[in-house]
Structure 1
Amino acid sequence: TDMIHDLHLVPLLNSLDQLTRHLEALPGHAFGVQLDTGMNRLGMEASEWEAVRDLVVGLNPSLVMSHLACADEPDHPMNRQQLAQFCAMTDGLGLKRSLAATGGILLGPEYHFDMTRPGIGLYGGAPYAQAEAVVHLSLPVIQIRDVAEGETVGYGNSWSASAPARIATVAAGYADGLLRALSNNASLWHEGQACPIVGRVSMDMIGVDVTALPQPPETLDILCPYQSVDELADKAGTIGYEILTSLGARYARRYVNQ
């Protein structure tokens, strides 16, 4: 409560208890309300909202919002069901409304209301397939060695060379959010040339086959024009959200305005 007051934040109240506490502790302070339209995660259910709706409307909340459970599947019947429920709970109240994050925005204007909440779409991730990727991730090569036919790379001998190879070690691993599921299952890139990951992704290092490159690279790219965050996520059996949110604090970040 102190932080909400001191930093002039607008809390989204998700329950009757939160609403009561906010009105008692910070009378007159701005707030919004989250409604549950079927996701059963956060928000007031229809019966709870009906009990306090008139009181809340009289206090002029900054926003009333809900969240779609299946927006990344445009034809899923849950989308229409939640839209109908949201309209039933909020039509005619004269309040600012929000229902759509990135997936909901792509469902069409009837899901947009007064405010949309693009998240993954700002980073060029699915389901916004037309978005341009904005995250580029290069990993430094710290060593290159020659490996003879039959030799192995990494923990557990999970990869062995079928022919003489040049193996680069890059300084990144699962401690940096590069999932172990990428082991022997994805590539890094150098100027349009795919360089397969060989062996297990370890905590701080990854082995990469750079035999096809004419010159030893100083860096290799894992997110780049040749490999989107969603393509990398597919290789790891996950989604782009997990890849982006896993990228840790050890990377040097550089922001470029274009």
Structure 2
Amino acid sequence: MMPADPLDPVAHGATLTIDLDALVANWRLLGERAGTEASAVVKADAYGIGIEPAVTALARAGCRTFFVAHVSEGIRARKVAPEATIYVLNGLLPGSCDRYAEHALSPVLGSHEELLEWASFRQTGAKVRPAALHVDTAMNRLGLWAGEGLNLARERSGVIAAADIGLLMSHFASSEDETDPANARQIAAFAEIAAALPEIPASLKNSSGHFLKDCPSYQLTRPGYALYGGNPTPGKPNPMRPVVGLEATIIQVREVEAGTHVGYNGRWTAKGKRRLATICLGYADGYPRNGSWTDTTTGGAALLDGALCPFVGTVSMDLIIIDVTEAPAGAAQRGAHVTLIGGQLDLEAVGAGAKTIGYEILTNLGRRYARRYLGL
């Protein structure tokens, strides 16, 4: 049996449009703003839009460095970017060195144990690319303690030379909040370590870091969310171009009277006569169930011919019910399309409606959509 055509919306019920030209434009804007080389973080299937098309487009535009979370993602990126430098952020899992060698990947080393294992592997004569060294300046998640990293740097520890470190990096914990004093502390802590290892290129800026005052760009920046149209400056106008749009098809329209209970467990009750439409999209497609709108909670919404149509009842596995009463006359018809991401429903608005963040909306984008790539 042949699989469904990935471009056929009738076979899928919803269509995800991905603008690769906008992705490239966002990457260029961030590089120009930083005044240095911008890499691209393409972990989580390039934030849901697809590693292969994203890396292909960015590499064609001149991006030379990519970051992924897992070796498996690095292998996919390597197939479409044979000359790129590809760093694996989640560190060196025990016994995985040979995978890095086989696929010319670079681990981001975040502990003394990882440094020793990688250095030992290199001493076998294995042909590998330089690794990155991650120093933790606030997250307490991955990375050498800042003091440990500084001691290794000041002592010119042999393990750093033996591991062949090609990049020094740290990760912001609160860069989206420019008022958080933790940013200045991280900038200062990282500057001290970078100064102790001046021969190693450094990287600190993430997406929001590009907009932080007094944050050095160093030799490489690491934008992720902003590349895909997410707002790196919450509370301010989004400087990035939108990359993703999501539309779903109306499968049925009906009118209900006041007092009608709608959806699983009847958690939404019509306050008057309402016109409702059911669309072909649900939590199995990656739209969070927390987007449900009940009698006591607000939730997500769709756009129909410019009108904002709130969800009603519980987001179910494959379907969502929306209230189209206020939509223009005749707009709500079987087969019509509604917008779930796009226009005033940007990633931040959708995330807020689903009681989460735009990052989660992006990275949960399902595989059941018809996927339409612009600029491929």
Residue 114 (structure 1) aligned with residue 222 (structure 2): no
Asked if 1:136 is matched to 2:232, the reply is no
Residue 162 (structure 1) aligned with residue 271 (structure 2): yes
% identical equivalent positions: 36
**How far 1:51 moved relative to its partner?**
4.7
Q: Which segment drifts farther, 208-217 or 36-45? A: 208-217
What is the rounded CA distance, in whole Å, between the counterparts of 2:290 and 2:322 in structure 1? 15
Q: CA deviation at 1:146?
A: 2.3
What is the aligned partner in structure 2 of residue 6 from structure 1? 102
Q: Does 1:49 align with 2:149?
A: yes
- Give the 3 Å change call, closer, same or farther, for CA 97–56 of structure 1 in structure 2: farther
Paired amino acid for 1:146: E
Decide which of 315, 318, 326 is 1:201's aligned counterpart.
315
Structure-1 residue corresponding to 2:228:
123
**How far apart are the structure 2 equivalents of 1:45 and 1:182?**
39
Per the TM alignment, residue 92 of structure 1 is displaced from its structure 2 partner at its CA by: 4.6
- Residue among 76, 83, 86 paired with 2:180: 76
- Report the AA paired with residue 199 of structure 1: G
- Whether the 8 Å contact between 1:142 and 1:168 is mirrored in structure 2 is yes
CA distance in structure 1 between the partners assigned to 2:209 and 2:195 by the alignment: 18
CA distance in 2 between counterparts of 1:176 and 1:109 reads 41
TM-score (norm 2): 0.65
Q: Distance in 2 between matches of 1:33 and 1:4?
A: 15
- Helix, strand or coil: the match of 2:209? helix
Question: Partner of 2:329 in structure 1?
Answer: 214
Q: Check the 8 A contact 1:33/1:61 in 2, yes or no.
A: yes
How many angstroms apart in 2 are the aligned matches of 1:78 and 1:232?
28
- Partner residue in 2 for 1:40: 140
TM-score, normalised to structure 1, is 0.93
Match of 2:352 among 223, 234, 237: 234
Partners of 2:328 and 2:159 in 1: CA distance: 64
Cα deviations across residues 13-45 of structure 1 (Å, max 9, x unaligned)?
A: 111111111111134632111001122111111
- Taking the aligned partners of 1:38 and 1:19, their CA distance within structure 2 comes to 20
Runs of 4+ in 1 over 6 A off after TM superposition: none
Once the two structures are TM-superposed, the CA of residue 127 in structure 1 deviates from its matched residue by: 2.4
Does 55-64 or 77-86 show the bigger shift?
Answer: 55-64
The aligned amino acid for 1:16 is H
Match of residue 190 from structure 1: 304
Equivalent position SS for 1:110? coil
Work out whether residues 5 and 26 of structure 1, in 8 Å CA contact, stay in contact via their aligned partners in 2: no
Aligned residue in 1 for 2:289: 180
In structure 2, distance between residues paired with 1:17 and 1:85: 22
Q: CA deviation at 1:63?
A: 0.5
Secondary structure of the residue aligned to 2:178 is: coil
Q: Per the alignment, in what secondary structure is the counterpart of residue 11 of structure 1?
A: strand
2:130 is the counterpart of 1:25: no
Instruction: Report the Cα distance in structure 2 between the residues aligned to 1:208 and 1:21, rounded to whole angstroms.
Output: 55
Task: Report the count of equivalent residues.
Answer: 258
Distance in structure 2 (CA, Å) of the matches to 1:256 and 1:180: 29
Q: Is the 8 A contact 2:115 2:160 kept in 1?
A: no
Q: Which amino acid aligns with 1:97?
A: A
Aligned-CA RMSD value: 1.9
Query: Contact conserved, 1:192 with 1:226, CA < 8 A, in 2?
Result: no
Q: What is the distance in 1 between the residues matched to 2:214 and 2:105?
A: 29
SS in 1 for 2:189: helix
Correspondence for 1:88 among 165, 180, 192: 192
The residue that corresponds to 2:60 in the other structure is none
Q: CA deviation at 1:111?
A: 2.9
Give the structure, 1 or 2, with the largest relative contact order (CA under 8 Å, sep 6 or more).
2
Instruction: Give the C-alpha shift of residue 213 in structure 1.
Output: 3.4
CA distance in 2, matches of 1:76, 1:162: 44
Matched, 1:253 2:371: yes
Instruction: Answer whether contact 2:262 2:313 (CA < 8 A) is retained.
Output: yes
In 2, distance between residues paired with 1:74 and 1:111? 15
Structure 1 CA distance for aligned equivalents of residues 222 and 150 of structure 2: 25
